[in-house]
Amino acid sequence: MGDALPQSFYERESFVVARELLGKRLVHELEGESISGLITEVEVYDGSDDKASHAHMGLTNRNAPMFGEPGVWYVYLCYGVHWMLNIVTRERGYPAALLIRGIDVAQGPGRLTKYLQITKQQNGTKSFGDASLYVEKDGIVPVASDIRKTPRIGISYAGEPWTSALCRFVWDFDK
């Protein structure tokens, strides 16, 4: 196991955590092998007022990890095809999670989970302590000018102001 970020890293404001995840290595250890990549793209879903968030309609069996402890993975199936990988932020009871949309070797949330072999097995598991799926403490600290804040992708159903909100962080790592 590598040196994972502590739970306290995730117990902070979602936008701060999202920005600081860029350049960190996301690691999945499977049967003695490590698959990893540097995080390049993250979207913020923060609070039940956010109409693009799964938490908008309240607590359900599906979104329960979002209301739980910070640093826990929230993994769900999108369109019955792709697993989406999210990490819970903020304090227990406040629904917030960050969708990890890309790593340097797999851009797009569906490609990322396929590459890292993420499935529902990781849903509700911890990213800290003795975890097999975690974010390493060390990493690259991207230069501010290489980071873009943009609207989130694929949330037209949420309407304004949610579709225009700058809740997506993208690290242009190949500049």
- Average pLDDT score over residue span 43-53: 91
pLDDT digit string, tens, across residues 120-153: 999 999 999 889 999 999 888 898 899 999 999 9
pTM of the model: 0.93
User: Residue 74's domain spans which residues?
Assistant: 7-171
CB-CB contact of 125 with 101 (8 Å): no
Q: Is residue 19 situated within a structural domain?
A: yes
- Quote the number of domains for the chain: 1
CATH of the domain at 34: 3.10.300.10
* Mean pLDDT value of segment 83-90: 97
- Residue 62: predicted pLDDT: 86
pLDDT score at 130:
86
